[in-house]
Amino acid sequence: MKSLIAGNWKMNGLRADSMALIEALKAKAAGSAPGCDVLVCPPSILIANAMAAVAGNPITVGGQDCHAEDKGAFTGDIAAAMLADFGCSHVIVGHSERRRDHAENDAQVAAKAAAAHRAGLVAIVCLGESAEEREQGRAAQVVTGQLAGSLPPSANGANTVVAYEPIWAIGTGKVATPGDVAEIHDVLRAELVSILESQGEAVRLLYGGSVNAANAHELLRVPHVNGALVGGASLKPDDFWTIVEAAPH
Ligand code: 13P
C-alpha cells in the first residue's frame, strides 16, 4: 500500500509563512518526485492560496475539520463540500485537539466523516488514548472503541484513512516506541477488518505524535503503518521532506 505523509499545520502561520512553506515543499517535490502521497492541511483560510500554489504539483491539500451537516446556520464552521469545492482531497476529523477543545465525541466524528464522504473527500479519522488510559493498560480497548464509534456506515478503503495519535505523544516530543505502535496498529487493523470486512485491509493506518526527521524511518516500517500524520515537523520544509523521503516505496 502506498504511504500517505500528511502535514497538519494546525493554527500556525500567517499567509506569507504558509506560502513560503508551500513554495519550499514544491521545490523539493520538483527536485525528487515523492514516492508516497503527500498532503498538507493548512488553516482553512489559507486553503485557496495553498491550492493555487500546488497546481500541477503532486502535493495535495486538505482541511483540518468540517461540519457534520452539508450547509446551514452554523456560524464559523466549514462544510465538507466547501473544502471539496476548493480542490481539497482530504479532511481530518476527530483530531484529539478538537475532541478536547470542542467536546467532539465519537458519534459527532462519525457524522463529520459521513459528511466528508458525501462531499467526495477522504476522511482522516483520528483517535488515540490519553496517558492515563495507557497507564491503566486500556490503550487497545480505548482505540478500538473509538474506531467502532467514529467510522460511519459509508466508510470504505478508498474514502477513509485512520490516524492513531496517542494524546500523550502529540507535541510533547514523547514518541511512542515502535513496539507500542505495532501493538496498536495490529489491533486497529483487526478491528477495521472486523467492521469493514475486506475493505478494512485497504484503509491506510497513519501514526501521529512527535514524528520527526530522525524517527520517521523506523516508525514508517512498523507493520500496518501506512504513513504519518505530522504536526510540528510539517512546518519545517526540510524536516517534512525528510519524512516524505523516509516513507517506504
Ligand atoms: P506533533 O507531530 O506536533 O506531535 O503533532 C501530531 C499531530 O497532532 C498531528 O495531527
Probe ligand 1: pick from 175, 211, 220, 243, max atoms within 8 Å of CB? 211
| Each residue's pLDDT tens digit, 191-228 | 999 999 999 999 999 999 999 999 999 999 999 999 99
- Which residue in the block uniquely carries the three cell numbers 451537516? 69
Decide: residue 55, CB within 10 A, 0-12 exposed, 13-18 middle, 19+ buried.
exposed
Is the CB–ligand 1 distance for residue 209 below 6 Å?
A: yes
Is the CB–ligand 1 distance for residue 210 below 6 Å?
A: yes
How far apart are the CA of 3 and the centre of ligand 1, in A? 17
User: Is-catalytic flag, 95?
Assistant: yes
CA distances from 195 to 60, 122, 167, 237, 247 (A): 29, 18, 24, 37, 28
Could you say which of 67, 90, 95, 117 is catalytic?
A: 95
How far apart are the CA of 139 and the centre of ligand 1, in A? 18
pLDDT over 90, % of the chain: 96
How far apart are the CA of 210 and the centre of ligand 1, in A? 6
Could you say which of 133, 165, 191, 224 is catalytic?
A: 165
Residue 31: pLDDT band with limits 50, 70, 90? confident
User: Is-catalytic flag, 224?
Assistant: no
For the CA of 173, the nearest atom of ligand 1 = 4
Rounded Cα gap, residues 114 and 150, in angstroms? 10
Is the CB–ligand 1 distance for residue 231 below 6 Å?
A: yes
CB-CB contact of 237 with 25 (8 Å): yes
> Ligand 1, atom 9: nearest CA belongs to which residue?
231
Q: What is the mean pLDDT of the chain?
A: 97
CA distances from 166 to 30, 207, 208 (A): 33, 9, 7
Q: Please determine, for residue 187, whether its predicted confidence score (pLDDT) is greater than 90.
A: yes
Tally DSSP H helices, then E strands, for the chain: 10, 8
- Which residue in the block uniquely carries the three cell numbers 520517521? 216
Q: Where are the alpha helices (DSSP H) in the chain?
A: 15-31, 47-54, 80-85, 96-101, 106-118, 131-135, 139-150, 178-196, 216-219, 237-246
Cα first-last separation, the chain:
9
Q: Which residues contact 98 (CB under 8 A, 6 or more apart)?
A: 65, 104
Residue 247: pLDDT band with limits 50, 70, 90? very high
| Each residue's pLDDT tens digit, 110-129 | 999 999 999 999 999 999 99
Rounded Cα gap, residues 183 and 112, in angstroms? 28
DSSP state of 68: S
pLDDT, position 15: 96
Q: Please determine, for residue 142, whether its predicted confidence score (pLDDT) is greater than 90.
A: yes
| Each residue's pLDDT tens digit, 51-67 | 999 998 999 999 999 99
pLDDT over 70, % of the chain: 100
pLDDT, position 56: 87
CB-CB contact of 226 with 206 (8 Å): yes
How far apart are the CA of 183 and the centre of ligand 1, in A? 20
Is the CB–ligand 1 distance for residue 216 below 6 Å?
A: no
